[in-house]
């Protein structure tokens, strides 16, 4: 008779344990506070308005967008829309699109160097960022035949380092065709030779200097990174080589993350024989206030939250909420944080939630 009592008790305990573990795993969705109901999704709307202010998408690119501020407080925006189409947009101080320049070229053949736009393979450049002229100018080449001696090359490198306001370095290789066998002699092959092409600006002129000298003692990797840095949202973190960090701003205030049902997500390994791994992620919405002058834009965005790590810069009430991502598959699109830029000379602001998107606020 005892077994008749024991079996139901065991079944009841098993059921209760299952329910408790299920509750612990699923975790009931966060109930959205009423004050966040009016927030607008940045993913679905063309424009978001608040009072006299509107935020709209200015540019979407297939590569990271570059931004440069001229001495006249014009902002030059560079993006790549695909099919070799490179777009350059000039914004005036009021946030109006003053002009555009379209170049049909591979993006890797374009160098945006301190506002100068350089087409490397065509050996031409544009001063359009500064004067609006769309006619290309031929680049002056130096030592393209490699006929300068070592002393002359070294002096030229030293002069470039002292005089130029902008420098970009490419490393190339020559791989000669093997010499044909002649008679009974051995077939000979010339060694692969490497050389550097230094594109640099002096005044308003662009030059390309070819050299087999070691240029690293004249131009460090950090120096070259700073020369080609076109980003108003981030700065180079000099404490960590080649690293970058978002410039914090009081104009962005993260308010709330609404967690939906917890998901167990399996990720593939990072390549090779790397094993896969499992993460517990909360899908949900990040609610954020973006302040411009006297108006506050209220935004929400769907993303995934990993509470076990803290790689993102997003803090709510002074506490880092975890690591955010836009997807749950490899490669993971991490979200470090939102970015915002303006200054006293501009009547507008720039905003982005993605290095390949740019929003205009005015």
What whole-number distance in Å separates Cα of residue 204 and Cα of residue 132? 14
Q: What is the pLDDT of residues 97-146, one digit of tens each?
A: 999 999 999 999 999 999 999 999 999 999 999 999 999 999 999 999 99
CA–CA–CA angle 130, 132, 136 (5° rounding):
95
Measured distance CA(32)–CA(217) in Å, rounded: 58
Q: What is the pTM of this model?
A: 0.85
pLDDT at 10 over 60: no
The Cα 79–Cα 227 span in angstroms is: 19
Whole-number Å distance between alpha carbons of 221 and 162:
17
Spell out the domain ranges in the chain: 27-52+249-361
pLDDT in tens, 33-70: 999 999 999 987 778 999 999 999 999 999 999 999 99
pLDDT for the residue 59 = 95
Q: Whole-angstrom Cα distance, residue 118 to residue 77?
A: 15
72: its two tokens: 């006249």
């Amino acid at each position: 008779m005892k077994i008749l009592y024991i079996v139901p008790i065991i079944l009841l305990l098993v059921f209760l344990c299952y329910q408790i573990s299920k509750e612990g795993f699923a975790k009931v969705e966060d109930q959205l506070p009423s004050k966040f109901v009016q927030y607008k999704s940045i993913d679905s709307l063309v424009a978001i308005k608040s009072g006299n202010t509107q935020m709209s998408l200015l540019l979407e690119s297939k590569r990271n967008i570059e931004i440069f501020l001229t001495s006249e407080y014009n902002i030059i925006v560079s993006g790549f829309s695909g099919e070799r189409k490179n777009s350059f947009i000039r914004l005036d101080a009021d946030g109006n699109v003053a002009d555009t320049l379209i170049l049909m070229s591979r993006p890797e053949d374009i160098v945006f160097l301190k506002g100068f736009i350089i087409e490397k393979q065509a050996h031409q450049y544009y001063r359009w960022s500064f004067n609006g002229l769309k006619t290309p100018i031929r680049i002056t080449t130096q030592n393209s035949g490699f006929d300068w001696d070592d002393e002359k090359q070294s002096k030229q490198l030293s002069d470039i380092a002292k005089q130029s306001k902008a420098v970009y370095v490419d490393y190339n290789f020559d791989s000669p065709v093997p010499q044909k066998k002649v008679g009974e002699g051995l077939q000979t092959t010339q060694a692969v030779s490497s050389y550097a092409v230094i594109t640099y600006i002096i005044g308003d002129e662009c030059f390309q200097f070819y050299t087999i000298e070691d240029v690293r003692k004249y131009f460090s990797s950090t120096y070259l990174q700073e020369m080609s840095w076109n980003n108003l949202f981030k700065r180079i973190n000099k404490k960590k080589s080649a690293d970058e960090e978002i410039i914090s701003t009081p104009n962005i205030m993260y308010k709330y993350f609404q967690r939906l049902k917890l998901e167990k997500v399996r990720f593939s390994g990072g390549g090779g024989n790397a094993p896969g791994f499992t993460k517990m992620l909360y899908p949900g919405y990040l609610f954020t206030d973006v302040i411009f002058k006297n108006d506050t834009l209220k935004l929400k965005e769907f993303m995934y939250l990993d509470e076990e790590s803290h790689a993102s810069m997003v803090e709510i009430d002074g506490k880092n909420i975890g690591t955010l991502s836009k997807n749950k598959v490899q490669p993971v699109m991490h979200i470090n944080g939102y970015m915002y830029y303006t200054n006293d000379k501009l009547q507008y602001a720039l905003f982005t939630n993605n290095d390949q998107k740019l929003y205009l606020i005015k």
